[in-house]
Each structure stands twice: as C-alpha cells, then as structure tokens.
C-alpha cells in the first residue's frame, strides 16, 4: 500500500508511523488516514522482524482527534442519524484506536505536540508514552458537548488512577507535559528536538529482546488488565513452556555463559 496520509519506515526492527496531515492537526477521523493506520498495524503484527512501533506526528500537533470543522458542518463520520453516526464511530474512529491498542508488539507514542480528544486517546492506546516539552494532553470531549468516545474511560483510569482520570475528563482540562509526567501519563519529557532520539533509544532497548517472548510478554500484560492472578499464572506457565523450546532462549543462555551479546533470530 502506498501511504499518503502517514509516513512509514522500518529500521533495525523499529517501525515508525508518522501522522502526516498537519493541515488538519493530524485528525484521525477521515477514512484515508484510518485505513493507512490500520494497514500499518496489520503489517507490524504479521512481520516478526518488526519488534517495536513508534507512533508520532508531523509538527505542530500530535493529533486533534476528531476534525471539529467536519463536526460543525456535519460532514463525514459526523453526518447522518444517531444510529448511523454510532456505527461510523464504531467502524472508523473506534476501529482504528482498537487497531493500535491490539498491536502485538510494544508501542511507543512519541507525542510532539497537542494530543487532544481522540488524539489523547491515541497516545493512551500505546504501551509507553514519551513527550516533547511542547506536548499537551486533554480529554476535551465535554467541552464540545460530547462524551469520551475514544476509549479513555477505560485507559485513562488505568494510567493515572480513577480520581485524577475523572477530574481530567469531567473538567475537560488540558495539561502540559510536565504535569502529565507527574501523573504517570508519560514516562519521559524531553526537549522537542530530542523526542525521537529518546523514543528510538527506548525502542532499541526493547528491540534487542527475543521477538517471540516479547510478543508473549505484551499479551500477558494486556490480559492482566482484565483477568485474575490465577488465570495469568496459568497463561504465563503455558507461554513459558513454549519459550523454553525456542532457539532464542538457548541463545540467551549461551550468550550469558559466554559473556557476549545474544543474537536473536526469532526462532
């Protein structure tokens, strides 16, 4: 697929998807960008050579989420009866956010600017978030008379705790990067020009791990969000038994005893 709405590249096992519609503040509610993001998610899931996905954007915004001009004009996914709009939310915005959430490799949101509404929701769908000092975050749906439609009613309390999540959602407040860091919404705040440097540094550390075990580990963490300890222990035992029969496991042990860096082949 030829990408027009995003930029996509892979280097040494690290994929980077860059939203490339700065003219509409990288809104993610039109069919073209939705299709391209979903294609990227499918490609990284199917390619065992890709170990990490970074999601970032062309300045100045990370993503405004919905296109408010289309909302005002009742165009695109905001056009039709309530039942029709509901289905458009499900099959467009929610579908693309779930595609990012369900990526099978670790994901890093490199937030370069404002992440507002579903743009904040997009960042929350990623496993790790790194912010530029220019970044801002806001679950601003109530400010425009809407409910939190981006999954953040699920992800935000699990990230910053119920009380603070309720405050952010109910007030529609926009917070800066340092405030987000204090809340645990992001892992790092760096100077703007160092954003992708830091994201790639984290990605490189992750990409050095054996790919099969890495994907199983992410699956365990995600399952743990809505499961019991007993179930997670059972699933971990099953995954662990599979890992013991991989070549990468033996390579890791050999490298440890030989005091060298392991070379994992994904087998």
pLDDT digits 0-9 by tens, 173-216: 999 999 999 999 999 999 999 999 999 999 999 999 999 999 99
CA of residue 214 relative to chain centroid, distance? 16
Q: Kindly report the CA angle at 172 between 224 and 185, in degrees rounded to 5?
A: 35
> What is the predicted pLDDT for the residue at 262?
92
Classified as helix, coil or strand, 245 is coil
Reported as a single tens digit per residue, the pLDDT across 229-250 is: 999 999 999 999 999 999 899 9
Buried residues in 221-249 as b, exposed as e (16+ CB within 10 A): eeeeeeeeeeeeeebeeebeeebeebebb
Enumerate the domain spans of the chain. 6-207, 211-258
Q: Report which DSSP code applies to 62.
A: S
Please state, in angstroms and rounded to a whole number, the distance separating the CA atoms of residues 6 and 34. Answer: 10
Q: Report which DSSP code applies to 89.
A: I
Does residue 14 register a pLDDT over 90? yes
Whole-model pTM: value is 0.95
The class level of CATH for 6-207 reads: alpha beta
Please state, in angstroms and rounded to a whole number, the distance separating the CA atoms of residues 5 and 262. Answer: 38
> What is the predicted pLDDT for the residue at 267?
86
Please state, in angstroms and rounded to a whole number, the distance separating the CA atoms of residues 184 and 178. Answer: 10
Q: Report which DSSP code applies to 5.
A: S
Reported as a single tens digit per residue, the pLDDT across 23-44 is: 999 999 999 999 999 999 999 9
Mean pLDDT of 158-164: 97
């Amino acid at each position: 697929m030829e990408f027009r709405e995003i930029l996509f590249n892979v280097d040494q096992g690290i994929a980077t998807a860059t939203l490339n519609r700065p003219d509409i503040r990288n809104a993610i509610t039109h069919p073209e960008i939705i299709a391209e993001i979903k294609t990227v998610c499918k490609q990284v899931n199917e390619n065992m050579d890709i170990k990490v996905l970074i999601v970032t954007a062309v300045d100045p915004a990370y993503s405004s989420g919905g296109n408010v001009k289309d909302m005002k004009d009742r165009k695109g996914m905001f056009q039709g009866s309530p039942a029709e709009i509901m289905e458009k939310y499900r099959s467009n915005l929610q579908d693309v956010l779930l595609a990012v959430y369900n990526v099978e490799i670790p994901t890093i949101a490199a937030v370069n600017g404002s992440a507002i509404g579903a743009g904040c929701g997009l960042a929350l769908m990623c496993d790790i978030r790194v912010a530029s000092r220019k970044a801002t975050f806001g679950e601003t749906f109530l400010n425009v008379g809407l409910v939190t439609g981006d999954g953040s009613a699920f992800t935000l309390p699990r990230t910053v705790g119920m009380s603070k999540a309720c405050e952010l959602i109910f007030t529609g407040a926009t917070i800066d990067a340092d405030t987000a860091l204090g809340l645990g919404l992001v892992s790092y705040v760096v100077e703007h020009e160092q954003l992708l440097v830091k994201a790639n540094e984290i990605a490189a550390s992750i990409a050095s791990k054996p790919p099969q075990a890495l994907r199983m580990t992410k699956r365990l963490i995600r399952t743990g969000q809505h499961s019991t300890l007993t179930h997670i222990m059972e699933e971990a035992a099953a995954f662990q038994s599979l890992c013991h029969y991989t070549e990468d496991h033996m390579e890791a042990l050999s490298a440890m005893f030989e005091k060298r860096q392991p070379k994992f082949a994904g087998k």
